[in-house]
Amino acid sequence: MEQKFYDAMADCPVIAAVKDMEGIGQCLESEVKIVFVLFGNMCNIGGIVERVKKADKIALVHIDLIEGLSSHEIAVDYIKKNTRADGIISTRLNMINRAKELSLYTVYRIFVLDSRAYRSIEKQKKQIKADFIEILPGVMPKIIRKISGLSSGAVIAGGLINDREDVIDALNAGAISVSTTNQDIWFM
């Protein structure tokens, strides 16, 4: 199942992280193959995902950011049953584990703000069963390199990616892809 995701990243290592309907329209005109949906509510998420899917792109929903859904595993079941999403993004391991059970792509999002957060990743590495780990901010090549070495999941760098140099630095440090809300990078 992961192969489709890897192939899409090989074609275009930039992932469009979209935070509003205007962004959906813009990313659908770009060459990006993967879209991280970072907004919506339980009433409109199905329609948002449908727009992405109709453009023949892979859609992952950041389940923690969808209004009206809880932090319980049943929210993942809701996404699986009521949308055509290919997977989820979450900061919660329980959500990642449930999505894996439902054969969805999984991206575990981690904010690496200090050395304590990094040590936490080291301790949790055996518990993290996500297909991919997204590290934020994504402009820390040394940390990306270290976490790529620790993790069984491929690393995606996200957050604060502002230009071509940031993309290249993250990829050279071991990230398989970068996610960004910066629309200029979607069209690089």
Q: What pLDDT is attached to residue 38? A: 98
Give pLDDT, residue 119. 82
The closest alpha carbon to 168, from 132, 139, 142, belongs to 139
Provide the pLDDT confidence category of residue 105 given band limits of 50, 70 and 90. very high
d(CA 81, CA 94): 18
pLDDT surpassing 90 at residue 153: no
Domains present along the chain, CATH in parentheses: 2-186 (3.20.20.70)
Q: What is the pTM of this model?
A: 0.95
Q: What is the pLDDT of residue 126?
A: 73
Residue-level pLDDT at 1: 54
Residue type, 156: I
Please tell me the least confidently modeled range out of 65-74, 146-155, 164-173.
Answer: 146-155
Q: Minimal CA–CA distance to 186: which of 6, 40, 3, 25? A: 25
Q: What is the pLDDT of residues 117-147, one digit of tens each?
A: 888 877 777 778 899 999 999 999 999 999 9
The tens digit of pLDDT for each residue in 18-62 reads: 999 999 999 999 999 999 999 999 999 999 999 999 999 999 999
